Structure 1
Amino acid sequence: MTASFERLTEAELVRRVQEGEVELYEILIRRYNPCLYKTGRSYNYNHEDTQDLMQDTFVDAYKNLGQFEGRASFKTWIIRIMMNNCYRKKERSAFKNEIIKDINDNSVPMFTGFDNDTGKMVQNNELGRVIEEALGKLPFDYRMVFSLREINGLNVSETADMLTITETNVKARLSRAKGLLRNEIEKMYTPSEIFEFNLVYCDAIVNNVMEKIKRL
């Protein structure tokens, strides 16, 4: 894909894909591979299961592009599809979410003031695994709020809508999640380094999804 195509807005891409330029869907896949990967891993799915769910989500989104009305961003729309697919998979496995209590709000951004030094991640692969493991141990409700707010960059309103909870609960759960993780990650890592999605895997997802779409 050329740089000119990559500069297209979400609305333009969706419109042109619907009008028959199916190859442009690849741009949307590449844009949102990372956030879907982070979402799947936040449900504690392993790498392989997460990739399968991502492919299903991109195919589902393609088949339902006509339902995308543009009132919310394409990012929040496709994350919601991914979350629904993750939830259904958990339901099939008789997974039961934890029920947690609300806690006090502390809206100080967790990562403010920290440098984006990706070299630290390269030098600390073991610590990276510790971070992922620590996130996986958080109660589900805390983990999902943290993923949507701090890792995927959704705002409070979008997160509340995505999880069908109040904005107050979003802030409360995020505060608790930060408290549980702060000692292990805030001094070393930025949100983008957590569950980093390698470009090699990105290419594989793109190819698999585009092949499935061609067969529809």
Structure 2
Amino acid sequence: MIVYQQLSEIEIIDNVIGGDIALFEVLIRRYNPYLYKVGRSYGYIHQDVEDLMQETFISAFENLGKLHNKTYFKTWLIRIMLNECYRKSYKAAARKEVMADTFVYEKSTPMFSDNGNDDTEKTVGNRELSSIIENAIRQIPMDYRMVFSLRELNGMSVHETAMALNITETNVKVRLNRAKAMLRKEVEKMYSAEEIFEFNLIYCDKIVENVMARVIKSQKVQNEF
């Protein structure tokens, strides 16, 4: 197998499309934390999020060749996850929250600023999640919740968030500021973004194993025909 450290993400994707499916594990491990935070922010419990993540990665693998601009792989992958989350909630006849984007945009610093460091995947010493924080996030209407998740928990840019949610960049800024106003009292005092909905490496291995097993099985079936 090619040494993936020497490859860019686009090269990894090209190699997976070319038949080196083992490299897909690199992408799974890289984006597990992103998808987990999206699923938890959507309101699903841990076990459901794991299932949604697996389905997302399988769908991404099966449609990887259809991705025209590989630069936006992360955004594309998150949109698949969001679609999986929506389908699950739709099937369960979950209540949809209707929003109005009528709030005035105000310039403000990121809620979880760490001297400009947006690395939301760094190791965090405190692995205990606050139920207060989780409940506060879930109380935010869905449109604001997802913008908050992508921008603050996953460190995505305004442009990436707008693309993932299919809204304007102005709407991203408006919704983020409103979300932060809703959460500031409960969250800003003691917690950093990395401590919310953290995805432990233990679970990462499980997702990788399950997805890669399905990918390999799928490839074997295709090769038989």
TM-score by length of 1: 0.90
1:149, 1:9 → 2: CA distance?
24
> In the alignment, what sits opposite 2:222?
none
Task: Work out whether 1:186 is the aligned partner of 2:185.
Answer: no
Paired residue total: 211
CA, structure 1 residues 9+172, in 2 after alignment: closer, same or farther (shift >3 Å)?
same
SS across alignment from 1:73: helix
Question: Which runs of no fewer than 5 residues in structure 2 stay unpaired?
Answer: 219-225
> In the alignment, what sits opposite 1:199?
201
Deviation at 1:139, TM superposition (A): 0.7
CA, structure 1 residues 73+5, in 2 after alignment: closer, same or farther (shift >3 Å)?
same
Amino acid at match of 1:45: Y
1:90, 1:17 → 2: CA distance?
31
CA, structure 1 residues 160+206, in 2 after alignment: closer, same or farther (shift >3 Å)?
same
Deviation at 1:72, TM superposition (A): 4.2
Equivalent runs, 1:29-178 vs 2, <5 Å: 29-70=28-69, 72-102=71-101, 103-108=103-108, 109-113=110-114, 118-119=124-125, 121-122=126-127, 125=128, 128-178=130-180
Deviation at 1:113, TM superposition (A): 4.6
The CA RMSD measured in Å over matched residues stands at: 2.1
Q: % of aligned pairs identical?
A: 53
Consecutive aligned runs of 4 or more in structure 1 exceeding 4 Å deviation: 113-117
> In the alignment, what sits opposite 1:20?
19
- Contact 2:10 2:70 (8 Å CA) reproduced: no
Amino acid at match of 1:118: V
- Contact 2:10 2:71 (8 Å CA) reproduced: no
CA, structure 1 residues 93+78, in 2 after alignment: closer, same or farther (shift >3 Å)?
same
- Contact 1:104 1:175 (8 Å CA) reproduced: no
- Contact 1:36 1:54 (8 Å CA) reproduced: yes
Q: Deviations over 1:149-173 (max 9, x none)?
A: 1111221122122222222211111
1:72, 1:95 → 2: CA distance?
34
Question: Which runs of no fewer than 5 residues in structure 1 stay unpaired?
Answer: none
1:38, 1:23 → 2: CA distance?
25
- Contact 1:11 1:70 (8 Å CA) reproduced: no
2:27, 2:159 → 1: CA distance?
23
Deviation at 1:190, TM superposition (A): 1.9
2:175, 2:93 → 1: CA distance?
24
1:170, 1:96 → 2: CA distance?
23
Q: Deviations over 1:21-74 (max 9, x none)?
A: 111110000000000000111110100000000000001000001011225421
Deviation at 1:18, TM superposition (A): 1.2
Deviation at 1:209, TM superposition (A): 0.2
1:46, 1:113 → 2: CA distance?
28
1:9, 1:148 → 2: CA distance?
23
